[in-house]
Amino acid sequence: GCQGTTAVRGRLVWFRDDPFLTSSDEALVYVDDGLLVCHDGKIVAAGDHGRLVRDLPPGVTVESYRDKLILPGLVGSHAHYVQVRIIAEYGEELLDWLRDYVYPEERRFADASYARPIAALFCDELLRNGTTTAMVHCATSPQSVDALFEESVGRGMRLVAGKVLMDRKAPSDVLDSSPEQAYEESRKLIERWHGVGRSVYAVTPRFAYTCSSEMLRVAGALWREHPGTLLQTHLAENRWEVAKVAELFPPPRYRDYVDVYEKHGLLGPGAVFAHAVHLRKREWERLHHTGSGVSHCPTSNLFLGSGLFRMKRAARRSRRVPVGLGSDVAGGTSLSLLQTASEAYKVGALRGYPMDGVKLFYLATVGSATAMRLDHLVGSLEPGHEADFVVLDPAATPQLDARTADVDSVNDLLFSLAVMGDDRAVLATYLAGRLAHRRDACPGPLPV
C-alpha cells in the first residue's frame, strides 16, 4: 500500500445503495468539490474538500482534478487475458469460434515466454481503461497463471484469476490430462498465489460442455477446501451450447444448466457465472437463493450472436441476483468497461429495460464487486475500502466536451461518459492510493 497519506481533489462519485432496488437519486453519492484521502492503500475519508482539507496531516500534497470525476476503479467480472490477441475474429458462433480461434491461441500459453508479455499487455490495458480489478480466465497451463499474477502483483492490482479446468470436447493439447492432475496443479497455484499481494485465486472450470462430471466435482472440492477463493465459469451463453449441455447432463437427473453446476457444488456466494443469457425462471431463482453472481458481457453476446441478456429478470426485487459487467475479451470486443456499459444500455433498450448513468456505472463498480463478493474491499469510495480509483475527464474529446458542457445532472453526465467514453476518457488510474496510469503521461502532481 501507499506509505503515508495521499489526497486528491475533484468531483467524487460513488454508490451507497442498489439503484435497481431503490432509485438512482438515492443510490448516488456526489460531492461537487470533494477530497479523497488515502492512507496505507485505503480510503480514510471522502467528502467535502472545505471540511476535510483542514484535517490533512502537514506536508500532504493534494493532487487537484477540479472539473474531473473521481470514481471507484472499474471492476470487470469476466475476461480471458489469453485471448487479447484474437479479438475480432470473423463470422462464427461460440462453439465454432472456440474450436477455430480460441483453442489454437490458448495452447500457446504452455510457453511461459509467450504468456508473460501478453499478461503485461493485458494488465497495462486494464489500467489504461480504468479497470483496477478484474476476474480473469487464464489458459489450461499453470504457466499462464504464473505469468498473469507475476504481472498483476508487480503492479499492485487486486486481480482474480485461475487456471482453466477442462477435460473433454477440445483438442488434447489444451485439455487437462486428468481431473486428479488438474486438482494437483490448481492446489499448487492456490498455495503459490492466493493472498500474495492482492491476488485472489478463482477456481475456473471452463464450462459444463468441456468438463466431465469428475472435473466439475474437482472444481467444487478445490473451492470448498480453500476458503476465500472464488469460482468462475460460463453459463447459458449460446443456444447450441445449452442444448449440448442438456445432452451431456440430461434430465431428469439434471433439471437444467444451473442444476448441473448446483449438483456439483458450484453455486454459492463468490461464484460468478458469465453470460446467463438463456435462463429459465427456476434457474434465476436458484442463483438468487444460493447467493451466486452473474457477469453481463454485452459486447461478447452481440459479437458472437449469443443473445440479449435480460437485466430485468436479474433485478427482480423478490429474487435479486448480483450482476456485474464483463468485457469477456475476446468474445467481447473491448476491454473498456465504458464501451461495455454502452452496449449494456443498448441491449437493455432492445429488451425494454434501458439503464441510466447511475445504473450503468453501478454495474461497472459495485455490481461486479458484489457478484464477486469483494464489495467490502473494492468498487466504492466509502472509507475503509481500498484506494483504487479512476479520474474521468468529461471533456476528454471535442465531442464529449460539446456533449457534457451543459448537462443537467450527474446522472446524465455519467450516461454520456458511458455511451461516448472509452480509454480516452480515463485521465488517471490509481491503485492503493498511488498513480498507476496517467493518460497524458505527466506523472507529477498538478498545482492545487
Q: What is the DSSP string of 269-313?
A: TTEEEEE--S--HHHHHHHHHHT-EEEE-HHHHHHTT-----HHH
The residue to which cell 496531516 is assigned: 57
What does the block give as the cell for 420? 461516448
Q: Which is nearer to ligand GUN, 94 or 374 (CB)?
A: 94
- Residue from 41, 270, 331, 433 binding ligand GUN (CB under 6 A): 331
Residue 322 Cβ, how far from Zn ion at the closest point, in Å? 18
Q: Is 207 in the site for ligand GUN (CB under 6 A)?
A: yes
Q: Residue 357 is inside which H or E element, if any?
A: helix 357-362
Q: Which is nearer to ligand GUN, 45 or 136 (CB)?
A: 136
Contacts of residue 425, defined as CB under 8 A and 6 or more positions apart, other chains included, come to 338, 392, 393, 394, 396, 397, 400, 417
Query: Out of ligand GUN, Zn ion, none, which partner does residue 207 contact, by CB within 5 to 8 A per kind?
Result: ligand GUN
Contacts of residue 59, defined as CB under 8 A and 6 or more positions apart, other chains included, come to none
- Residues in contact with ligand GUN, shown as a per-residue x/- string from 282 to 301 under the rule CB under 6 A: ------------------x-
The bridge status of strand 131-137 relative to strand 158-162 is parallel
- Residues in contact with Zn ion, shown as a per-residue x/- string from 222 to 261 under the rule CB under 5 A: ----------------------------------------
The bridge status of strand 200-205 relative to strand 230-235 is parallel
Are 149 and 159 contacting, i.e. CB atoms less than 8 angstroms apart? yes
Amino acid at 294: V
Contacts of residue 444, defined as CB under 8 A and 6 or more positions apart, other chains included, come to none
- Residue from 63, 176, 262, 328 binding ligand GUN (CB under 6 A): 328
Choices 223-231, 267-275, 398-406, 435-443 (CB under 5 A): range interacting with Zn ion:
267-275
Q: Is 328 in the site for Zn ion (CB under 5 A)?
A: yes
- Residue from 158, 234, 403, 437 binding ligand GUN (CB under 6 A): 234
- Residue from 151, 237, 256, 343 binding ligand GUN (CB under 6 A): 237
Query: Out of ligand GUN, Zn ion, none, which partner does residue 403 contact, by CB within 5 to 8 A per kind?
Result: none
Which residues from 90-129 bind ligand GUN, rule CB under 6 A?
94, 98, 102
Task: Tell me the C-alpha distance between 315 and 322, whole Å.
Answer: 8
Residues forming contacts to Zn ion in the complex (CB under 5 A) are 274, 328
Residues forming contacts to ligand GUN in the complex (CB under 6 A) are 80, 94, 98, 102, 206-207, 234, 237, 300, 328, 331
